[in-house]
Copies of this chain bind each other. A is one copy, B any other.
């Protein structure tokens, strides 16, 4: 900048004015400065700018998630990016692998880089000690679920309602012996989905066998082998399965196919899965809209960054079951005619 000023024969302030397109600089000087900027390939340093101009527009925001290699999270990131891009705001991101300490470190690092705000998909039901403090001083929007003691903006799918829907879907198709496979319930969203499952089962006066509730594994590969062995060991077997997360669904479908059980056991998942329409039978799911989740979270975050002080918003996005076959395999209690009751919640947003 100094060189530019010298080369154009003006003061630093004038360069600053031209670079920031402030009004009230003579055309002549604008011309000279711009020429010098080009010639010297000058690039303003956003960090230095924001050092002084603290109310400046956001240069970057941080996104803490569990695992960017999971399409659910990378689609969220895509949605966040779409909102941030027009503002020339960059997004820093990091995966915690569900580890609280790592999430804590990540958020700490975000702050040391002075992000303007954070979107956080919490890895558990509370934040680490550092994040906990930070979050009180920085705009933050929670995604998917909210840590206990906090109250910020929150955008998430209807975990409870969705889990109730898919469980009831199986019950409506004659199933009484239903297993639940999902994330560890220290993750609040996972806990809500399990609650939904329990609720639907209780409402139908069905019992849940403890050995039919499996939680706490991570990758599709891991789930595949866990479910493979679990299916072999179980006797009696459930007649149907609720898979509460996309990687679980993938692992379960692979295990069922390995065992040749895909046409015997019904399966319905939470969150959609690539090629779920092509597998035989097609995989029935209640989809999420991760891109929309990300977009809404980012929009709310930018409102906060801009200074909005309205009370915390909780936005819940409701989905609708996509029946592709695996969830419509009937159980022993199925009536002759398949239940006509269509539960078609429209894909709308509810704010409460």
Contact for A47 among B91, B108, B113, B257, CB less than 8 A:
B113
Interchain CB contact under 8 A, A112 and B275: no
Among B67, B274, B291, contact of A275 (Cβ-Cβ < 8 Å): B274
Selected interface stretch from A70-78, A177-185, A201-209, A338-346: A70-78
Residue of B nearest to A49 (CB): B112
Q: When A112-B46, A275-B273 are in contact, do A74 and B68 touch as well, CB less than 8 Å?
A: yes
Question: Does A90 make an interface contact (CB < 8 A)?
Answer: yes
Given contacts A69-B291, A253-B275, A275-B273, contact A110 B90 (CB under 8 A): yes
* A interface, CB within 8 angstroms of B: 41, 43-48, 50-51, 59-60, 62, 67-69, 71, 73-75, 77-78, 81, 85, 88, 90-95, 105, 108-114, 133-134, 137, 220, 250, 253-254, 257, 273-280, 291
A71 to B71, Cβ gap below 8 A? yes
Closest Cβ–Cβ distance, residue A8 to chain B (whole Å): 19
Q: Evaluate contact between A112 and B43: CB separation under 8 angstroms.
A: yes
- Verify B92–A94 contact, CB threshold 8 A: no
Q: Are A93 and B94 in contact, CB atoms less than 8 angstroms apart? A: no
Assuming the contacts A71-B71, A88-B109, A92-B92, asked whether A114 and B47 have C-beta atoms less than 8 A apart, the reply is yes
* CB–CB A254/B277 < 8 A: yes
Asked if A51 and B47 make an inter-chain contact with CB atoms under 8 angstroms apart, the answer reads yes
- Report chain B residues within 8 Å CB of A250: 274-275
How many monomers of this protein are in the complex? 2
A-B complex: 4 closest residue pairs judged by Cβ atoms? A74-B74, A47-B47, A69-B78, A275-B275
CA separation between A205 and B113, bound complex, in Å? Answer: 59
Instruction: Give CA–CA (A269, B73) in the complex, Å.
Output: 25
Interfacial chain B residues near A85, Cβ < 8 Å: 94
Report the bound CA distance from A134 to B114 in whole Å: 24
CB neighbours (8 Å) of A274 from chain B are 71, 220, 250, 273-275
What are 26 of the A-B contact pairs (CB < 8 Å)?
A41-B133, A41-B137, A43-B108, A43-B111, A43-B134, A47-B113, A48-B51, A67-B78, A68-B77, A69-B291, A71-B71, A74-B74, A74-B77, A77-B93, A81-B93, A81-B95, A90-B109, A90-B113, A220-B274, A250-B275, A253-B278, A273-B274, A274-B274, A275-B276, A275-B278, A279-B280
